[in-house]
Amino acid sequence: MVDAERGPYTLSVPIVSLPSGVVPRRRLGARSDVSSRRRAWSRDDVTTEPFLLVAVGAAVVFIAVLLIEGARRPGYNPTYHTGSELELGERGWIQRANFLLMASGALAFAVGVDQTLGSTAGAVLLAIFGCGLIVAGLFVPDAVRGYPPGAPTEASAKPTWRHQVHHVVGGPIAFFALLGACLTLAGQLQGAWRWYTVLTALAGLVLTVGTALAYQRDAAHTGLIQRGLLLVYWTWIVLLGIHLAVSPP
C-alpha cells in the first residue's frame, strides 16, 4: 500500500483489542524457566527435613543403646568402662552397629546443615565426624580393663593394630572434627543458638581432654566423663537438627 507522505513501503498495522475476560497465553521463555527453578528449589527445601530427622533419630538411638546395653551387660561398669568397650563380647555387634548407625546420621546431618545453613566447611567437618565413627565401628578395641569378664585388667604392652586404629584414629578424628564443626557453624547461627553452639564446643573440648586423661590414668570415673561428653555433643545434634528442620533460616 503506497502512502504519498511516508513512502511506498510503510504498512499500517491495525490494533486488535481482545474481548474482556480473555487472557493471552503466557509466552514460553525466561519467566517459565525462573518459575521451574523456583519450584525445583522448593522441592530441595522439602527434602532437607528428612536428612535432619535421620540425624536426630540416630543420635537418640545411639544414646539409648549406650545406656541400655551398659546397664544390662554382666561385668560392665558404665561409670568405669567406655562406650567403645561395649563392642566386645557376644553382644558386641550391637554397639558396632550402633556406631555405624550414628555414622550414617552424622553424614545425613552434614547434608542437612549444608542445605539449610550453606556452610560447606561445617558440612565437611560433620562428614569427617561420621567417617571417624565408621572407623570406631569397624575396628574393635582390645579386651582390657576387665571387660569382658576374664579380660586382663591392665592394657597390653603390645596392643593390636585394630586397637590402635580405634583409639588413635577413630576417636580423635570424630571428636575433634565435631568440635571444629561446632565452632564453624556458630558463625552461621544467630542469637541463643550461636552461644549454645559455642558453649557446646567449649564443654566438648574440656570433656574430650578429660576422657583421654582419665583413660590413660585408668581412672574409676572414665566412663562417666565420656558419657558426659557424648551427652553434650549428641544433645546439640538433636536440638539443632530439630531447630533446622522446623524453623530453617
In whole angstroms, what is the distance from residue 75 CA to residue 200 CA?
A: 32
What average pLDDT does range 160-189 have in this prediction? Answer: 94
CA distance 138 to 133: 9
Q: Which pLDDT value is given to residue 139?
A: 96
Give the three cell numbers for residue 174: 570424630
Average pLDDT for 196-222 = 96
Mean pLDDT, the chain, whole residue set: 85
Set of cell numbers at residue 218 = 585408668
Predicted confidence at residue 13, as pLDDT, reads: 43
Helices (H) and strands (E) in the chain, counts: 7, 0
Burial (CB < 10 A; 0-12, 13-18, 19+), residue 27, is: exposed
Query: Residue 235 corresponds to which amino acid?
Result: T
pLDDT band at 10 (very low <50, low <70, confident <90, very high): very low
Structure-block grid coordinates of residue 64: 539409648
**DSSP H helices in 30-167:** 30-72, 92-117, 120-138, 161-164
Q: What is the DSSP letter of 51?
A: H
Task: Tell me the torsion sign for CA atoms 72, 137, 120, 43.
Answer: negative
Q: pLDDT value at position 37? A: 36
Cβ count within 10 A of residue 212: 17
The pTM of the full predicted model, rounded to 2 decimals, is: 0.80
pLDDT tens-digit readout, 78-136: 999 999 999 999 999 999 999 999 999 999 999 999 999 999 999 999 999 999 999 99
What pLDDT, on the 0 to 100 scale, is given for residue 222?
Answer: 96
**pLDDT attached to residue 206:** 97
Query: Distances in Å between the alpha carbon of 118 and those of 47, 178, 188, 215?
Result: 15, 17, 8, 37
Distance CA 52, CA 171 (A): 23
Does pLDDT of 162 surpass 90?
A: yes
Proportion of the chain in helix, strand, coil states, percent, rounded to 5: 70, 0, 30
Q: How many CB atoms lie within 10 A of CB 171?
A: 23
Work out the angle between the directed axes of helices 30-72 and 222-246 (0-180°, nearest 10).
150
pLDDT in tens, 47-75: 789 999 999 999 999 999 999 999 999 99
- Residue 196 scores a pLDDT above 90: yes
Is residue 34 predicted with pLDDT exceeding 80?
Answer: no
Is pLDDT above 70 for 42? no
The reported pLDDT for the residue numbered 155 is: 76
pLDDT above 50 for 31 = no
**How far apart (Å, rounded) are the C-alpha atoms in residues 93 and 122?**
31
Q: Give me the amino acid identity at 230.
A: L
